[in-house]
Amino acid sequence: MISEHFARSEFKCKCGCDYDTVDYDLLLILEAVRSHFGKPITISSGCRCVSHNAAVGGSDRSQHLYGRAADIIVSDTDPLLVYDLVDQMGVGGAGLYSGWVHVDSRTNGPARWQG
C-alpha cells in the first residue's frame, strides 16, 4: 500500500508495461475523496506510458503521463457529486465524464471540463 486505501498496482499503466509512478499530491486528493464518501474508489486509468496514452487518445500534455492523474469511479456514487467535491476542493484538474471523473494534481490549474 502506498497510502491508507490505495496500492501502487492500481495506478499501473493499462498496457502492461509496468509504468506505475504516482504523485503524492494525487494520493492526498484521492484519500480525501475516499474519506468524504466513505466508499471504495476504482481507478480506471492511472499513469500512462507515452504509447498507451497515444493509443487511448490522450493529450500529449496529459497529466496521466506524469502520474499526476487518475480517472476514478466512487462506488455507488453519482459522478457529478464526485466532480462537485473535487471542484470545491480547488485541486488542479477535474473532468466530468459519463460514469467517471478525472482528477489530477497539476500545479498550473485549476482546470475544469466536462467530456
Mode of pairing for the β-strands spanning 69-74 and 100-104: antiparallel
Domains identified in the chain and CATH numbers:
8-114 (3.30.1380.10)
Whole-model pTM: value is 0.95
Q: Taken in order 52, 91, 97, 79, is the CA torsion positive or negative?
A: positive
pLDDT confidence tier of residue 95, bands split at 50, 70 and 90? very high
Is 26's pLDDT higher than 90?
Answer: yes
* Residue 4 in grid coordinates: 491508507
Tens digits of residue pLDDT in 36-87: 999 999 999 999 999 999 999 999 999 999 999 999 999 999 999 999 999 9
What is the per-residue pLDDT for 115? Answer: 86
Q: Is the pLDDT of residue 104 over 90?
A: yes
Q: Which pLDDT value is given to residue 50?
A: 98
- Asked if 3 and 9 touch (Cβ cutoff 8 Å), the reply is no
The contacts of residue 109 (CB under 8 Å, 6+ apart) are 91, 92, 93
Percent of the chain topping pLDDT 70: 100
- CA nearest to 70, candidates 95, 107, 40, 35: 95
CA–CA distances in Å: residue 1 to residues 27, 77, 81, 87: 11, 24, 27, 27
Distances (CA, A) of 83 to 8, 13, 77, 78, 95: 23, 23, 11, 9, 7
